[in-house]
Amino acid sequence: MDSIRVKGGNQLNGRIPISGAKNAALPLMIASLLTDDTLTLENVPHLADVEQLIRILGNHGVDYSVNGRREKQQEGYSRTINFSARQIVDTTAPYELVSKMRASFWVIGPLLARMGEAKVSLPGGCAIGTRPVDLFLDGLQALGAELDVESGYVVAKTKNGRLVGNRYVFPKVSVGATHVLMMAAALARGETVLENAAREPEIVNLAECLNAMGARITGAGTSTITIEGVDSLSGARHRVIPDRIETGTYAMAVAMTGGDVLLEGARVDLLQRAMDILAESGAEISQEEAGIRVRRNGNGVRAVDVTTEPFPGFPTDLQAQFMGLMTMASGQSKITETIFENRFMHVQELARLGARISLAGQTAIVEGVSRLKGAPVMATDLRASVSLVIAGLAAEGETTVSRIYHLDRGFERLEDKLSNCGAVVERLSG
Ligand code: EPZ
């Protein structure tokens, strides 16, 4: 199993190109199931999760080509990929595939809308919490789906071959359930109104793509989304937005080590709250034409309290990285996680580097220390693992992060991007 070795102590200076967003690319790829035409997606990041979803979609009959070539591109950053679901050959998403990546459960929406049936494995739990699917099931039922759960599978059918528009109020904000209901309602008969919908930029990116395919969606980015169903959707060409979590992660790395980095292609509007918090902690952030510039001149990091919230609040996917930063702040900060119930597994690993963190329910209390010291640590999930890398960049000596397959799920060429800015980071195989 590969690991990453970081020698801490260097500032970061230079440019980091921000990749296409994983969490936008995945639902966009799934949207290709809605049409027999070709959906061309630009700026798709080269990540393990994307490769895994390509395999899952292939099982349903989705063919793909990368920049005109069938094989995957080994080198280079984000790519253009054509997805073509001319014929859906299988409406079942098996446990072996869905259990590897939760987002693959989302195929249930387009399969049901286009084929009138779907049999999709329940995803099961995951490292950051139980993550149920009740909202997906309630919402699809509201659109007229008949659902059964049999032997770990959701078996879904439409009554007369088509879903029917309806009003659905989410009892809790869910990104995935909003994606799925928006895709399902795009091909339903009549109008659907989704209330208390997620407002994340990835929802807006999907709605824009669906509209380019012929859907009639308004209100994405607000908590009320209206979808006028259409009979069929066509192909389109659409660009994946820059990854706001990758942006925030590198911004926090610079805030932690000091230095001056241009995050190329990044947009402040995709993570305003996180940028405001970072500025409060002492970083200088400015939107420039080419991207976001982050600077810290070596002065200390100030402690700031943070609570994770749905967009436009502070994202849960940056909580671990921010905790990394706060371990070296002057004073105490409180970090409260409200989205997932078990997303503090990085606490014990950060403690191995000398961080002082105690947990009180859903709040981590971080007492800043003046220095961290390198140690072997273990990645437990995607965002937790990158928090260990950025803490390692600021720690004295050597930090080895093992189990970095988590990192490869969501960070494109992390070690190259950091090394190009002066960090000493290398991947060790085996
Ligand atoms: C998306 O997950 C992201 N994944 C997550 O990023 C992100 O942390 C999360 O949104 C919150 O922003 C992708 O986009 C692929 P939710 P999702 O449904 O859609 C509960 C990463 O590191 N809930 O918005 O699965 C749920 O348990 C990942 O890139 C129900 O109770 O998240 C959670 O507490 C991790 N019932 C809350 O809602 C349901 O039916 C929000 O989850 C669905 C969700």
Q: In three state form, how does the secondary structure of 48-62 look?
A: HHHHHHHHHHHHHCC
Residue 74 reports pLDDT greater than 70: no
Q: Measured from the CA of 103, which atom of ligand 1 is nearest?
A: 15
The CA distance from 233 to 32, in Å, is 10
The CA distance from 393 to 303, in Å, is 19
* pLDDT at residue 72 in the model: 46
* pLDDT at residue 300 in the model: 87
Parallel/antiparallel/unpaired status of strands 92-93 and 117-121: parallel
125 lines ligand 1 (CB under 6 A): no
316 lines ligand 1 (CB under 6 A): yes
202: left (phi over 0), alpha (psi -120 to 50) or beta: alpha
Residue 424 reports pLDDT greater than 90: yes
Residues 114, 120, 124, 128, Cα dihedral to 10°: -20
* pLDDT at residue 384 in the model: 93
* pLDDT at residue 83 in the model: 98
Helix intervals (H) in 258-304 = 272-280
Minimal CA–CA distance to 408: which of 390, 373, 381, 368? Answer: 381
Percent of the chain with pLDDT over 70: 96
The CA distance from 302 to 314, in Å, is 17
Asked whether the bond before 312 is cis by omega within 30 degrees of 0, the reply is yes
The CA distance from 33 to 87, in Å, is 9
- For ligand 1, atom 14, name the residue with the nearest CA: 23
SS3 state at 171:
coil
pLDDT, tens only, 152-194: 999 999 998 899 999 999 999 999 999 999 999 999 999 999 9
* pLDDT at residue 341 in the model: 86
* Mean of all residue pLDDT scores within the chain: 94
* pLDDT at residue 129 in the model: 67
Residue 71 reports pLDDT greater than 50: no
Question: Mean per-residue pLDDT for 217-246?
Answer: 98
Reported confidence tier of residue 67, pLDDT bands at 50, 70, 90: confident
* pLDDT at residue 58 in the model: 97
Q: 75 to each of 246, 314, 402, how far by Cα in Å?
A: 19, 33, 23
Residue 240 reports pLDDT greater than 90: yes
pLDDT, tens only, 334-358: 999 999 988 999 999 999 999 999 9
| Residue pair 369/357 in contact by the 8 Å Cβ criterion | no
318 lines ligand 1 (CB under 6 A): no
Minimal CA–CA distance to 45: which of 37, 54, 36, 57? Answer: 54
Residues carrying an active site annotation = 126
pLDDT, tens only, 369-410: 999 999 999 988 899 999 999 999 999 999 999 988 889 999
CB atoms within 10 A of CB 360: 9
50 lines ligand 1 (CB under 6 A): no
> To 5 degrees, how large is the angle CA 141–CA 147–CA 150?
155
CA of 406 to the centre of ligand 1 (A): 17
Q: Measured from the CA of 136, which atom of ligand 1 is nearest?
A: 40
Residue 14 reports pLDDT greater than 60: yes
Report the residue among 23, 105, 411 best suited for mutation to probe ligand 1: largest number of ligand atoms under 8 A from its CB: 23
Count, residues in the chain:
430
Question: Mean per-residue pLDDT for 53-81?
Answer: 79
Question: Mean per-residue pLDDT for 10-35?
Answer: 97
Residue 235 reports pLDDT greater than 70: yes
Q: 405 to each of 1, 35, 101, 255, 415, how far by Cα in Å?
A: 8, 33, 13, 26, 13
176 lines ligand 1 (CB under 6 A): yes
